[in-house]
Structure 1
Amino acid sequence: MRHLTPIDRLLCGADNALRTLFATPAGTGRPLPGADLPEAELSDAERAHAGRLMRVNHAGEVSAQGLYQGQALTARNAVVRENMERSAEEENDHLRWCQARMDALGAHRSYLNPLWYAGSFTLGAIAGLAGDRWSLGFVGETERQVEHHLDEHLDTLPEADARSRAVLAQMREDEIHHGAKAMDLGGAELPWVVRKVVMPAVSKVMTRTAYWL
């Protein structure tokens, strides 16, 4: 297996960014959850709301790609880097699934996806430079907050939209796994102000904006 140089990794990261923003990455190839369930009969208002929620989740997965790629680029430990890259690959499945549901519901991607990706990549790279323990801790806390966010979406999705619910339920399971894995690898708990003030504030701006744009 060829050893990747820093330039190789930079080019791979650029390719991933382009695929994330303008195409659909392959991911692991897992099938779309709920594909065997019937498409729900929704009112126009319900369809619009469900589509916007899936757009928010798609934007969140774009951010996750930026975060993981930034962290993988600056990770010092090869095991940590491989963990980030593997998690990013599984998150690509989420991108595909959210896109499939947006297509079915008549929703479009967030127009601000390049901004979400660039901002998250920068944060991920900074976390990686701070050290692998902090980088892993950032992943663990991010995934905990995403889990909470998905719980809220499952509560507000139209009850009849079983296909979207199946997608979000599997995403939630994956996020829990990614967060636990990061902490098991030695992630450090982030300072209270980062966990309780900074990260929720940034998340609120992104989710509210992506819902409409």
Structure 2
Amino acid sequence: MMVATNLAGRILKVNHAGEHGAVSIYSGQIFMARFTAKLLLPELLTFRAHEENHRATFHNELRRRGLKRCKSYWLCAAGGYVLGIGTGLFGANAISLTTVAVERTVLRHLRHQTELLADDADAISAISSILSEEQEHHDAAENHNRTPGVFGQMLSSALAGATESVIWLGMRI
């Protein structure tokens, strides 16, 4: 049980840091969307509010377990904000491609986590409580996407790889 408890703690820490990164991505995109994609602002504000709630869910579970946040917490914030500003600079399509790529990766990890942590009802509850909103973000953004083209495909691949890398790093530091 100790191994599962340690794994659950690491996963919850990384999820908390990831949600902080997501808040930062949306914050950067919201800043830029005022100039490049005004029509997306209401949706981006809603998504950021969801991510703030998700971050609070994981924060509360970490506190309940007596765990500190992940060492990658501020790295996720800084990287997320830069990513949000950068993709927001390219407008609505890049913003939507970012959400799809990041959420697709995150959803795969969250679903896998529910299998790994099947014996930890509290961890499963925290993870499961955010799945539908993360799926909603993915689906709404996917509906905005035009045919991505070469730039969009490269951006999507790079973002999925970066998201995987941040998760991998968070689990190891």
TM-score bracket relative to the smaller structure: 0.7 to 0.9
The counterpart of 2:124, out of the listed 159, 165, 169, is 165
Gaps of 5+ in 1: 1-42
Larger-gyration structure (1/2): 1
Q: Distance in 1 between matches of 2:112 and 2:156?
A: 18
Structure with the higher helix share, 1 or 2: 2
Letter in 2 for 1:85: L
Distance (whole Å) between structure 1 residues aligned to residue 92 and residue 107 of structure 2: 22
C-alpha offsets along residues 132-179 of structure 1, whole Å, 9 cap, x if unaligned? 12212211222111111111211211x221121122112111111011
- Secondary structure (helix, strand or coil) at the match of 1:168 reads helix
Give the root-mean-square deviation of aligned CA atoms: 1.8
Q: How many aligned positions are there?
A: 168
Distance across 2 between alignment mates of 1:209 and 1:145: 15
Q: Deviations over 1:104-153 (max 9, x none)?
A: 23322112322211111111111111111221221122211111111121
**1:193 aligned to 2:154?**
yes
Please say if residues 48 and 105 of structure 1, whose CA atoms lie closer than 8 Å, have aligned partners that are also in contact: no
Contact 1:139 1:179 in 2 (8 A): yes
Post-superposition shift, 1:48? Answer: 1.3
Gaps of at least 5 residues in structure 2 are none
> Any residues of structure 2 matched to 1:41-190 within 5 Å, and which?
43-75=1-33, 76-157=36-117, 159-184=118-143, 186-188=144-146, 190=148
Stretch moving more, 56-65 or 133-142:
133-142
Runs of 4+ in 1 over 4 A off after TM superposition: none
Partner SS for 2:139? helix
Distance 1:66 1:189 in 2: 26
AA in 2 matched with 1:192: Q
Instruction: State the identity %.
Output: 22
Shift of 1:51: 0.7
**1:107 aligns to what SS in structure 2?**
coil
Query: Judging changes above 3 Å, is the alpha-carbon distance between structure 1 residues 45 and 105 closer, same or farther for their aligned structure 2 residues?
Result: farther
